[in-house]
Structure 1
Amino acid sequence: MQRFAWLFIALTLGGCSIYPLPEDYMTTDSGQLYTSDRIAATIRCQTRDAIRAVIRRNIAAVPQSHVVYQRMARDEMLAWLDGNPANYRALKWELFSPELSKPFEYYKDTNVSYDFTIDSTEMNTLGVNVTLLKALNAGTDTLGLLAKNDRTREANRHFRVFDTFDSLARLMKEEACNNQPQVPNYLFPIAGLLRINTLIDSFLIANQWENLAGDKTDYTTGQMTDTLTFTTKSTGNFDPSTTATSVAGRFVPSSASLNVDNYRQDLHTIIILISLPPTKNGIPQFDEYGRILPPGKAGARAAASEGLDRQQQINTQNALTRLGTGVGRINVP
C-alpha cells in the first residue's frame, strides 16, 4: 500500500488556476502577457488604424495639385502623415479644404462603443483506481480503492469602452498601440489581427448611400453592430494503467490506473457598436490623451451603453432561437 501512497497524496496537488485569466495562456510575440486591458487596446488600435485609413483614402482621392490642408497639397500631406503617425494628433478638421472638412467634421463625433466579455473556465480531474487481489485456496478476495479530485474554476470579466472617431484618430497616444499584432492569431483570434476595418467601411458606405437607420423607430441615428465570439478549448489527458497476477496469501495490486484530465475553455465576446451621435448636444468631450472628460457630456455615453444593452438582448434572443430549433449544440466536455 505504501507504494501507492504518492498517488493519493497527488490528489491534493494540481495545476488548476485559482483565478483563470487570459494571460495564463495568451502571450504576445515578444512574450508579454495578454491581459484584458491589452485585449481592449488591441481592438481599439485596430479601429483607430481603420479610421485613419479612411482619412488617408479621402485625402488621396483629391486631385494632386489641390491644397488639402493649410498650404500642403495632396502628396505632401500624405507624406507628412505617413512619415510620422503622431502628426495625426495635430490635425484640425476645420483647416482641411472644404471637400474634406465637411465629411470629416460630420463624422468626427461618431461613437465607437465596445462591450467585452472574457470568460475563462478551467477544469482539472485527478483520479486513482487501484484493485487489490489476494489468491485463496477456494477463490480470491478483491478490494477496490478509488480516489478522485475534481476542480472547476471560472472567471468572467465584463467591461465597456467608449470612443469616437476623433478620439481614436487624433487623441489616442501612439505608444498605446506599440507592438500590436500584424497577423491573425488562429488559436486566440482576439489576440491577433481582426478585420475591424470592414465594419468601419461598411458603416460609412451604408450611411452615405443606403439610408442607414437606427434602432427600432429611430430613423435618423444610423448605427451598425458586429458581435464577435471566439471559443478556444484545450483538453489534455493522461491515463496510464498497469495489471499484475494475484499472489497466494497476500493482497497485491492486480490493476492500477491514474486518470489526469485537464480542460480549459476561453470564451471571448466583443460587441462593437458604430453609431452617429443622436444630437450635437451631449457629445462626450475628450482630453489630449483621448480620455472622456467628467460629466456634463454623458448623454452620448448613455445612448451608446443603451445600444450595447439592446445588442446583448438581441444576441440572447438569437441564441434561444437556435437552441429551440435544434441548430444550437451544447458540448459537454
Structure 2
Amino acid sequence: MSRILLLTATAFLTGCAIRPLPENVSGVSTPVIVKQVRCETRQAVKDLALGWLTADENQENGRVDPRARAIGFEFLREQRPIQQFEPKLFQGHVRNVVETFFDTGVAYTFDLEMTEENNFNTEINLLKPFTTSNLTVGVKARADRSRKNERIFTLTDTFSGLLKLPNDYCSGASIGRSYSHLVPPNYIYPITGNIGVKNFMIDFINMTIFDKLGGPKDKPEGPPTLVDALEFQTVVSGSVAPKIVFTQVTPGLQVADASLTGEAIRTDLHKITMGLAVAGPGVRTIGQLRAFPYLSLISTHPTTHAEARAAEAVNQALTLKLFRTNVVITP
C-alpha cells in the first residue's frame, strides 16, 4: 500500500517547480517573451510606415508624393534594407509625418507573476471487528505547499532603434527554437504570442494627428503620450485520488482502506504596461502635421448645417482609415 501511494505522490510532484517560471507551463522563457514583444512592435512600425507610403489612396489625394511612394516600395520589396529608413529620404508632408513618429519612445513594463500550489491529503481507515459490529477509526494527514515568483522589469525602445535592429534578431536562430518567425495570438498563454501592438500604435498615431493627444495626466501639455495596461491570467489545475480497499482476513485490527488525494494548481498572472510618446524632432513637427489640409474624401454638397456635420463625421472616419493600411508582400 505504502509503495503505491509513494509512487503516486512522486508522479504528481514531477510538474512542480521550486522557482515558478513562465517556461514551466508554456515552454517559453522570459528572454524569448521579451523578444517576441519587441519584434511584434518592430514589425508593426515597419508595416505601418511602408503601408502608408505605398497606399494608392494616399498618392491619389496628395498625401504621399510619387518619389516617396517609390522609396516605400523599395523598402517593401527589400531592395533597400529597412535599417536605412530615415526621415531625410523624404520631403514635404511625408517628411513631417516620418519625422514626427520616427523617434517615438516605447516603454514596456513586464510584471510576470507565477504561483504554484501542491496539496496532498492522506486518509487511512482502521477496522476493528466485533461480534455484532465493526468499529472504524479514521486517520488523516494533510500537506499543503505554495510557491510564488514575481518578475518585474522595464525595457525601453524607439521606433527608429527597432528598425535598426539586425534582421536575425527576430529570426528563429536568435529568438529561440520555439519560434522560427513571429507567432500569432496564443489564447491559452497570451504573453507568448501576438498581443495586438499594431492596433495600439494605430490609435496613437490617429489620436496624435487628429485628436490633439496630449501628455500624461500630470503634464497634459507635454508631448503626445498613450499607455495601455494589459493583464493576462492563465490557471492550470489537476488532481489525482487513488484509493486501496482491503478485504478483511483476520479478526484483529487491520487497515480497511487508504487513499491519497493530490491537487496541483498553477496560476500565471502577467501584466504588460506599454507606453508610446512622441520625442526628439517629432515634438517640433507636430504643429505642421496637424495643420496639413486633409482634403475631403467624399464628394458631396450639403445644403443644411446638419448635413454638413454628418458629412464631416463620415470624412473624419475615412481619413482615419488612411492609417490602417495593410501590407501584402508577394514573394
Superposed, 1:216-235 pairs within 5 Å as: 216=217, 217-235=219-237
The residue number in structure 2 matching 1:184 is 185
Give the direction of change, closer, same or farther, for the CA distance of 1:130–1:156 in structure 2 (3 Å limit).
same
**Could you tell me how far apart the structure 2 residues matched to 1:232 and 1:83 are?**
40
Superposed, 1:23-62 pairs within 5 Å as: 23-27=23-27, 34-60=28-54, 61-62=58-59
Q: Which has the larger radius of gyration?
A: 2
Cα offset for 1:212?
0.7
**Could you tell me how far apart the structure 1 residues matched to 2:125 and 2:6 are?**
14
The reply on whether 1:258 has 2:260 as its aligned counterpart is yes
Cα offset for 1:97?
2.7
Contact in 2 for aligned 1:132/1:252 (Cα 8 Å): yes
**Could you tell me how far apart the structure 2 residues matched to 1:83 and 1:278 are?**
29
SS of 1:53's equivalent in the other structure is: helix
The residue number in structure 2 matching 1:157 is 151
After superposition, what is the alpha-carbon deviation per residue over 1:233-278, rounded to whole angstroms, capped at 9, x for unaligned?
Answer: 0010111334456555222322222101011111110001111238
What is the TM-score normalised by the length of structure 2? Answer: 0.72
Give the direction of change, closer, same or farther, for the CA distance of 1:200–1:94 in structure 2 (3 Å limit).
same
| Higher relative contact order, chain-length normalized (CA < 8 Å, sep 6+) | 2
The residue number in structure 1 matching 2:85 is 91
Give the direction of change, closer, same or farther, for the CA distance of 1:86–1:231 in structure 2 (3 Å limit).
farther
**Could you tell me how far apart the structure 1 residues matched to 2:216 and 2:195 are?**
26
Superposed, 1:46-195 pairs within 5 Å as: 46-60=40-54, 61-62=58-59, 66-68=66-68, 74-75=69-70, 77-84=71-78, 87-137=81-131, 139-168=133-162, 170-178=163-171, 179-195=180-196
After superposition, what is the alpha-carbon deviation per residue over 1:206-232, rounded to whole angstroms, capped at 9, x for unaligned?
Answer: 010111111234223211111110000
**Could you tell me how far apart the structure 2 residues matched to 1:247 and 1:57 are?**
82
Contact in 2 for aligned 1:11/1:149 (Cα 8 Å): no
Give the direction of change, closer, same or farther, for the CA distance of 1:57–1:181 in structure 2 (3 Å limit).
closer
Q: Which runs of 5+ in 1 are unaligned?
A: 28-33, 69-73, 282-333
After superposition, the CA RMSD in angstroms is 2.6
After superposition, what is the alpha-carbon deviation per residue over 1:94-139, rounded to whole angstroms, capped at 9, x for unaligned?
Answer: 1213222222112222111100011111111222211110212365
Q: Which runs of 5+ in 2 are unaligned?
A: 172-179, 284-331
SS of 1:277's equivalent in the other structure is: coil
**Could you tell me how far apart the structure 2 residues matched to 1:109 and 1:193 are?**
23
Residue correspondences, number: 266
Contact in 1 for aligned 2:106/2:277 (Cα 8 Å): yes
Superposed, 1:203-214 pairs within 5 Å as: 203-214=204-215
Determine what percentage of the aligned residue pairs are the same residue. 26
**Could you tell me how far apart the structure 2 residues matched to 1:237 and 1:163 are?**
44
**Could you tell me how far apart the structure 1 residues matched to 2:279 and 2:214 are?**
13
The residue number in structure 1 matching 2:22 is 22
After superposition, what is the alpha-carbon deviation per residue over 1:70-100, rounded to whole angstroms, capped at 9, x for unaligned?
Answer: xxxx34x344323339711122321213222
